[in-house]
Amino acid sequence: MQAGDISLLKRFAVKRLDIIEFIAHTTLVLNTSRENYFKISVFLQDIGVPVTASRFSSLPLLPALQSNLSDLSFTEMTEIQAEALPVILKGRDVIAQAKTGSGKTVAFGLGILHALKVDQFRVQSLVLCPTRELADQVAREIRKLARAIHNIKILTLCGGMPFGPQLASLEHGAHIVVGTPGRIEEHVRKGKLNLEHVSQFVLDEADRMLDMGFQATMDAIVDKLPQQRQTLLFSATYPDTIDALAKRVQKNPVMVKVETKHTHGSIQQYFYKVRNNSERASAIHQVLSHFAPESTVVFCNTKREVSELAQALQDLRYHALPLHGDMEQRERDQTLVRFANKSATVLVATDVAARGLDIEELGMVINYHIARDPEVHVHRVGRTGRAGSQGLAISLVEEKEHFKVERLQESLEQEISLEKLPDTQRNPAEPTMVTLQIDGGKKQKVRPGDIVGALTGDGGIAGDSIGKIHVFDFCAYVAVERSLGKKALNKISKGKLKGRAFRVRLLKNT
């Protein structure tokens, strides 16, 4: 296909939009160049024809990015990637609405890396995230996508971390900065972070940042950005506040929306009646006893509910942990680590605090109260049943919440029936793993391989008994099979890591 053919297609399309979809589904599969494939697909999207190329190889990405995607076995794009990436690569502003786990980080990460000028060592891209956990997750993903391109510097700047080391990192410079609004604004305000060369600005989980009260902070950051830039806004939900934000920070954005409805087969939902608030904690116990999932997230609307429910479940001998915004960063890190490595079975959290939670297989989600917004409900429920696995979602409903049920029925376009709670009472199962905390981390040059070596050395435990390892700046966590917890503790306590002794302790349910 030649450039003249594309021009002809444009003239033809103006007159005959009715058969453009046929052209889209025939021309795009011919043996044409990647560049022409891209030009045609973007043109068809511009005139309103739904065209979805499913393979990363169809995109005009840098050869190094394509090679790395192949090495990572990234071949087929997710729906949000296929819809958003052609528009992002064209340089347009984008509003993308998609659920957690849809692959949006890869979408904007590839867009950032493709446009990056590596030889210009200055901040060219800024990504804002609501929480440190999500920022760390995003930075890790971008680093993975960038590993075939040499000398790219990616820096995370988040609240809850020491200010001094961040200043030292800024002095060394970076191409891409990922961080939380409060800390980014502080560095900008103090003149430590220069944004005058930013060409790409990403707002990830923008709805949660607004929920957390970051609007004024984000506005202050935007005021320091160049007028000529690409702005990408990603959000799980699309309330009026997001629309207002987009109008302030974007220019003629393209709206990309991936439906958040799950198939009936992927997530089984149950709605159980409760008489009043005081019955909810015992109802959670009955639900957990009946279904006995390996991992559960219980969503609460307030921090107080989180604390009270987590304590009630601990009193019932559940390995339950709270997660909310008033916790110290180290407590938050430890909680997320223990839940992710399967040494805790229940996480009780607010919606905002749960952002950045990266769990591959989540057995069950429970709504302590039905969310006020149906889209928030769908987003919560979407954390289970991912990647084709079977998910389970439970919601507790009082009579006075009937209006929420009606609103949710309308949104889901399906009938909701309220059922009686299952009459099951049994002792909670123990988690499969336990966690060891080591008082040494990246600053002490401790690496995951060092921890594995210390555990599996002479008279140690088998390598396949070791679970996830997380290394932070000043501490590290390693999961081991529950039956081997004390043996693993003794092995590291009496041995050495990096040629020196570190304090280590076995974390217990609080």
Q: Please report, rounded to a whole number, the percentage of residues in the chain having pLDDT higher than 70.
A: 85
Q: Which of 2-11, 377-386, 426-435, 463-472 has the highest mean pLDDT?
A: 426-435
The pLDDT-based confidence of 510 (bands split at 50, 70, 90) is: low
Mean pLDDT across the stretch 118-133? 91
CATH code at 57-257 = 3.40.50.300
Helix (H, G, I), strand (E, B) or coil at 153: coil
What's the rounded Cα separation, in Å, for the pair 75 and 297?
31
The pLDDT-based confidence of 297 (bands split at 50, 70, 90) is: very high
| Kind plus residue range of the DSSP H or E element containing 87 | helix 79-89
Tokens 């306590």 — which residue? 493
Strand-pairing partners, residue 307, are none
Mean pLDDT across the stretch 280-296? 92
CATH code at 433-506 = 3.30.70.330
What integer best gives the mean pLDDT of the chain? 84
Report domain extents, the chain: 1-51, 57-257, 267-419, 433-506
CATH class of the domain at 267-419: alpha beta
Q: Which of these, 249, 109, 96, lies nearest to 176 by C-alpha position? A: 109
Does 233 score more than 70 pLDDT? yes
pLDDT digits (tens, 9 = 90+) for 322-376: 998 888 888 988 999 999 899 999 999 988 766 666 666 788 999 999 888 888 8
pLDDT of residue 283: 94
Q: DSSP class of residue 427? A: P
Is it true that 57-257 and 433-506 share their CATH fold? no
Question: Which residues fall within 8 angstroms of residue 464, CB to CB, at 6 or more apart?
Answer: none
Q: Which of these, 178, 192, 131, 137, lies nearest to 159 by C-alpha position? A: 131
pLDDT digits (tens, 9 = 90+) for 82-104: 999 999 999 999 999 876 677 89
Mean pLDDT across the stretch 484-502? 89
∠ Cα 452 150 184 (to 5°): 80
What does pTM read for this prediction?
A: 0.59
Q: Which of these, 128, 136, 131, lies nearest to 108 by C-alpha position? A: 128
Is the alpha carbon torsion for 82, 87, 89, 94 positive or negative? negative
Q: Give residue 366's identity as a one-letter amino acid code.
A: I
pLDDT digits (tens, 9 = 90+) for 180-198: 888 999 999 999 999 999 9
Q: Which of these, 310, 319, 294, lies nearest to 392 by C-alpha position? A: 294
